Structure 1
Amino acid sequence: MGYLSLFLTAFAAATLLPAYSEVLLGAMVNQGYSLFWLWFWATAGNTLGSVVNGIIGRQVDRFKNKRWFPVSELQLHKARNRFNRYGQWSLLLGWLPIGGDALTLVGGIMRVPWLNFVILVAIGKGARYGFVIWAVLEASARFSGAE
């Protein structure tokens, strides 16, 4: 049940829902769970959540002229131009707490090929979760007096 909770929290954290998977991951690191599986399920859930953002992004053109649509044509144009400056490589930064979700949304708008999208997003998110695990283990070692 722990891995499933982590997967779902990481998935939600990659969408526009308010969730903080790093907190749950950090709490689970020293509870006897496999560090590999913690990293794997957090990365998988967060990457899949970003794929949902990409799918939504691919639908933007269908809705951009609706009155209820929250983004103006000018904002979409600016987002496309910024994304084009760095291209699909900017998806490596999809893990950022501010702007990362928007990058994956714009990656969908720009129709980055799915294989490239998933690989780049997964690399960035995997690196972030690897860092979180390392930081928690390092802090635990320091506070326990072991070095």
Structure 2
Amino acid sequence: MGDWWRPEHWWNEDNALWVLFASAFVSSTLLPGSSEGVLAASRLSGFDPWNLLWVATLGNTLGGLTNWWLGRWIATRYPARRLVRAEQEKALERVRRFGWPVLLLSWLPVIGDPLCLAAGWLRVNFWLCALAIAIGKAARYALLLWLIPVAGS
């Protein structure tokens, strides 16, 4: 049968990067998820922190931009309707007040996803939103990687 079931057989950097990308993407959409555990496990396994940073940031940014596009799509279907939930109203108000720079906070739990959705709904410039989302998420992952001890130390 072999040792296929042992973690060292399948937990290599290539597999970890794909799992991290998927986890980061899903956790940045409106779906529940958390990529911090995968990031920590990968770092503690000794994987290259720069690869982890880029992959996690890319996945998380693309997830945030998916929310932006979803907001844009919702606006074409329901342009005059008021949004139902209080979090959505708060997110719209924040984006109206502060503009695209508020998306630097898109990494925050609970409020980050609605901010991206609201920015799309309000048709805030896509490229400025992408830049702000990427910077905020990269800074968060860089801080997390800095806080995680290196394997073997």
Unpaired segments ≥5 residues, structure 2? 1-14
1:104 aligns with 2:116: yes
Query: Over aligned residues, Cα RMSD in angstroms?
Result: 2.5
| Cα contact 2:56–2:141 (8 A) shared by 1 | yes
The answer as to whether partners of 1:35 and 1:133 remain within 8 angstroms in 2 is: yes
Say yes or no: does 1:13 pair with 2:27.
yes
Within 5 Å, give how 1:1-147 maps onto structure 2: 1-64=15-78, 71-72=83-84, 79-137=91-149
Q: C-alpha distance in 1, partners of 2:24/2:62?
A: 9
Q: Tell me the matched-pair count.
A: 138
Indicate how the Cα distance of structure 1 residues 78 and 124 shifts in structure 2: closer, same or farther if over 3 A, else same: closer
8 Å CA contact 1:54–1:106 kept in 2: the answer is yes
Normalised TM-score (structure 2): 0.80
Query: For 2:53, what is the secondary structure of its paired residue?
Result: helix
* Structure-1-length-normalised TM-score: 0.83
Q: CA deviation at 1:27?
A: 1.2
The offset of 1:79, in angstroms, is: 4.2
Show structure 1 runs of 5+ residues with no match: none
Change in CA separation of 1:64 and 1:74 when aligned onto 2, cut-off 3 Å: farther
* Whole-Å separation in 1 of the counterparts to 2:99 and 2:134: 16
* CA distance 1:48–1:95, change in 2 (3 Å): same
Range with bigger deviation, 119-128 or 15-24 = 15-24
Distance 1:75 1:132, change over 3 A: closer
Shift of 1:61: 2.2
Q: Is the 8 A contact 2:71 2:120 kept in 1?
A: yes
SS of aligned partner of 1:96? coil
User: Residue 59 of structure 1: SS of its match in structure 2?
Assistant: helix
